[in-house]
């Protein structure tokens, strides 16, 4: 192994070496080992912490040689299992570092262990070890294993010679939380934040305050029980790293491996699943959650995310696991915010409003940079297994009502919103102030951040569910000053789909609602006229509903054109209609009234008044139909930048169901027939 270069210690290095002797390690020692030995970081740092926790370069270099020797001799490399089997057979006893799983074979009434890298599935193991380390039954654990070879042992006539005599999980047995709480007082807030980030393997000097808080948000599920976190963003930002690498209390599962039986309880055996075994169950690549799509699976998941318990069979079963959903969001966020929602990577069956409403925080992964070599830590941080024990023990600290000393929440937050925000704030307090000594200013920073990451969830629910989630004005009140402050989310400042300036002739926006699904569709309609032709053509979206809307508008105008009293005629023109669906438009048709307005605007070469939205439909003879879903349509129009909305006159009685806050953003114009709508939209 190449010699490690001396490190110029900064003030934080010197402080933690003095205050946490033997519990910190240089983070740049991990990289070379990680490239050579494919094991979790907490396994490697378990050894680094034993042999390299010093600032003496001779000790560090000697320790590295010893760590490498142990790994070469005892770590079972996946590409050399037969070599290790031979060692066990030759010596009769050998110590290995491997991942061990266990399974009850009920037809044999016997537990068998599996050594993953050694590729041996039927290894004898005593029930006492199973009961002592029951996480072997759910996902498995990394351990130092004393393995014996006894060729006299058989199973149904087959020799099963491998026997596990002892297991030492690669984690600390205990830490002194009070010591950590007392030593926290020796650090400023900025120093403690940087220490935590260094302990995850990153160098904090490359990140501003907001990015540091986002990185720390990834750690909240480690310290807060039953915390539901989502992070979606580009590839290679380290979304899944902390859940796979830094703690033996966390398990990262691929979507295809997640089943109701593995997560919750196996009815055949009665064995509790992952949520009862681990502090964190993290789902890698949420788009691949293939086995949690049926209604019963979704319901069990919702129950657990809400209450930390679930019913399967006859009993109510509790678990403390936090659930983390990570995945790739490979779209431009500003476009997604305007045209869709930010939960699109989830399988459609999991885009269940009640399920998503149980998410406590949405981490905007698109704000974090892709990992580069200079981001990797080169200074001292906590040894990962010590760090993971700190996080595990902090789960037990009650934060209580610290928030209520200084602040209260605004009326727009319902009980679920408030619970989500409190859990996020609680997590930040535990993580950054384990002694619970947090200032009012610090508390306000965490509240603002917690309100933002919860409001991001609600903003998407508003896009997906309409008026039910209309009120996303999240505020909090300073009790001492009596000031109410609103917290927004950065991405909603990107604006809506409807521009402020007047659009070219023939271009208009419309909003329609589907009464069966409750979804609201947004369309941009563009009409271009070609002289010398006849009839009309449709491009873009061409469903049956779209064709019917365009046909109705065109036929009405041909039969009633003379009533417009204009010099130009619809005859002798080829009408080219393009329907551009912008959001939730699978089975939704654009407004036939809006198509009428767009055709007339194009023929007359007259612009529609700026920020005008037309809603509603007509019949062939010009009767105006009452719009279904008025409140949802008005909300969508306001959200997307509409200012003037033309509405069927039959909907006047429904205005009482529309929140005042939405009505105050819009100028409502009512039309009794299609010509009325045309005149008002064109300002005639």
Intervals of the chain under pLDDT 70: 1-4, 171-174, 255-256, 268-269, 312-314, 493-495, 518, 584-586
Q: What is the bridge-based pairing of β-strands 154-155 and 158-159?
A: antiparallel
CA distances from 656 to 239, 631, 648, 662, 670 (A): 45, 10, 15, 11, 15
Contact (CB, 8 A) for 500 and 509? no
Residue 2 confidence (pLDDT): 52
Residue 1 confidence (pLDDT): 46
Residue 291 confidence (pLDDT): 74
Q: What is the bridge-based pairing of β-strands 507-513 and 612-614?
A: parallel
Contact (CB, 8 A) for 476 and 408? yes
Owner of token pair 């009650």: 398
For the chain, the first-to-last Cα distance in angstroms comes to 82
CA distance linking residue 97 with residue 677, whole number of Å: 76
Q: How far is Cα of residue 39 from the mean position of the Cα atoms in its chain?
A: 26
> How are strands ordered across the β-sheet holding 667-671?
536-540, 573-583, 520-531, 507-513, 612-614, 644-648, 667-671
- Strand segments (E) across 337-415: 361-364, 380-382, 407-409
Alpha helices in 472-588 (DSSP H): 544-560
- Token pair belonging to 35: 């490239």
Contact (CB, 8 A) for 239 and 365? yes
CA distance linking residue 392 with residue 282, whole number of Å: 16
Residue 167 confidence (pLDDT): 93
CA distance linking residue 414 with residue 411, whole number of Å: 7
- Token pair belonging to 436: 């619970």
CA distances from 43 to 11, 143, 144, 175 (A): 28, 8, 10, 18
CA distances from 590 to 193, 228, 549, 670 (A): 52, 38, 7, 18
Residue 668 confidence (pLDDT): 95
DSSP 428-493: HHHHH-TT----HHHHHHHHHHHHHHHHHHHHHHHHHHGGGG----EEEEETTTTEEEEE--GGGG
- Token pair belonging to 5: 């270069």
CA distance linking residue 589 with residue 349, whole number of Å: 24
Nearest Cα neighbor of 658 from 630, 636, 639, 679 is 630
Owner of token pair 């050894």: 47
Q: What is the bridge-based pairing of β-strands 380-382 and 316-318?
A: unpaired
CA-CA-CA-CA torsion sign (73, 75, 78, 81): positive
Nearest Cα neighbor of 60 from 47, 51, 69 is 51
CA 464, 335, 290: angle at the middle one, nearest 5? Answer: 55
CA 441, 446, 447: angle at the middle one, nearest 5? Answer: 95
Contact (CB, 8 A) for 398 and 46? no
> How many CA atoms, within 13 angstroms, populate the side-chain half-sphere of residue 369?
14
Q: Which residues contact 588 (CB under 8 A, 6 or more apart)?
A: 512, 513, 514, 519, 520, 521, 545
Counting every residue written for the chain, the total comes to 684
């Amino acid at each position: 192994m190449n010699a490690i270069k001396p490190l110029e210690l900064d003030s934080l290095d010197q402080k933690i070496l003095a205050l946490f002797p033997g519990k910190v390690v240089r983070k740049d020692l991990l990289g070379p080992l990680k490239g050579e030995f494919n094991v979790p970081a907490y396994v490697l740092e378990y050894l680094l912490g034993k042999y390299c926790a010093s600032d003496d370069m001779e000790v560090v270099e000697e320790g590295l040689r010893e760590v490498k020797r142990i790994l070469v001799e005892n770590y079972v490399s996946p590409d050399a299992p037969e070599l290790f089997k031979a060692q066990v057979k030759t010596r009769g006893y050998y110590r290995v570092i491997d991942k061990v799983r266990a399974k009850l074979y009920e037809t044999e009434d016997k537990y068998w262990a599996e050594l993953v890298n050694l590729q041996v599935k039927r290894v004898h193991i005593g029930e006492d070890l199973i009961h002592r380390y029951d996480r072997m039954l759910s996902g498995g654990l990394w351990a130092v294993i004393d393995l014996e070879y006894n060729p006299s042992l058989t199973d149904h006539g087959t020799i099963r010679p491998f026997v596990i005599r002892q297991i030492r999980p690669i984690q600390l047995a205990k830490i002194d939380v009070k010591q950590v709480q007392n030593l926290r007082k020796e650090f400023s807030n900025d120093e403690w934040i940087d220490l935590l980030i260094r302990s995850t393997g990153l160098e904090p000097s490359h990140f501003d305050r907001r990015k540091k808080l986002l990185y720390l948000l990834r750690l909240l599920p480690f310290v807060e029980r039953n915390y539901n976190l989502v992070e979606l963003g580009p590839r290679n930002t380290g979304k899944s790293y902390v859940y796979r690498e830094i703690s033996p209390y966390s398990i990262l599962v691929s979507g295809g491996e997640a089943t109701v039986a593995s997560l919750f309880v196996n009815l055949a055996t009665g064995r509790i699943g992952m949520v009862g075994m681990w502090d964190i169950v993290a789902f890698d690549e949420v788009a691949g959650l293939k086995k949690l799509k049926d209604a019963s699976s979704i319901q069990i998941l919702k129950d657990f995310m809400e209450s930390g318990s679930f019913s399967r069979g006859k009993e109510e079963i509790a678990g403390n696991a936090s659930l983390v959903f990570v995945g790739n969001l490979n779209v431009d966020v500003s476009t997604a915010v305007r045209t869709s929602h930010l939960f699109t990577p989830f399988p459609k069956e999991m885009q269940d409003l009640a399920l998503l409403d149980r998410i406590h925080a949405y981490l905007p992964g698109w704000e974090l940079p892709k990992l580069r070599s200079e981001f990797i830590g080169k200074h001292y941080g906590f040894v990962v297994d010590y760090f993971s024990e700190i996080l595990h023990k902090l789960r037990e600290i009650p934060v209580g009502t610290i928030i209520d000393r200084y602040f209260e929440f605004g009326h727009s937050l319902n009980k679920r919103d408030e619970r989500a925000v409190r859990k996020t704030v609680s997590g930040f307090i535990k993580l950054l102030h384990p002694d619970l000594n947090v200032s009012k200013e610090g508390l306000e920073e965490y509240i603002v951040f917690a309100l933002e990451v919860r409001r991001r969830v609600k903003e998407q629910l508003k896009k997906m569910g309409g008026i039910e989630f209309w009120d996303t004005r999240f505020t909090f009140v300073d009790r001492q000053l009596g000031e109410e402050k609103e917290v927004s989310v950065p991405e909603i400042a990107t604006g809506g789909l409807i521009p402020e300036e007047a659009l070219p002739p023939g271009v208009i926006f419309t909003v329609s609602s589907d009464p069966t699904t409750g979804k609201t569709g947004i369309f941009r309609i563009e009409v271009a006229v070609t002289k010398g032709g006849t009839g009309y053509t449709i491009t873009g979206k061409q469903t049956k509903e779209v064709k019917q809307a365009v046909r109705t508008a065109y036929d009405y105008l041909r039969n009633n054109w003379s009533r417009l009293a204009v010099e130009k005629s619809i005859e002798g023109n080829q009408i080219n209609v393009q329907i551009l669906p912008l959001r939730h438009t699978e089975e939704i048709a654009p407004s036939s009234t809006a198509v009428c307005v767009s055709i007339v605007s194009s023929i007359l070469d007259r612009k529609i008044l700026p920020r005008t939205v037309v809603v509603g439909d007509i019949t062939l003879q010009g009767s105006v139909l009452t719009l279904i879903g008025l409140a949802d349509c008005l909300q969508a129009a306001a959200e997307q930048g509409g200012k003037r909305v033309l509405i069927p006159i039959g909907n006047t009685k429904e205005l009482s169901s529309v929140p005042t806050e939405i009505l105050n953003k819009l100028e409502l114009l009512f039309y009794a027939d299609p010509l009325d709508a045309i005149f008002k939209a064109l300002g005639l």
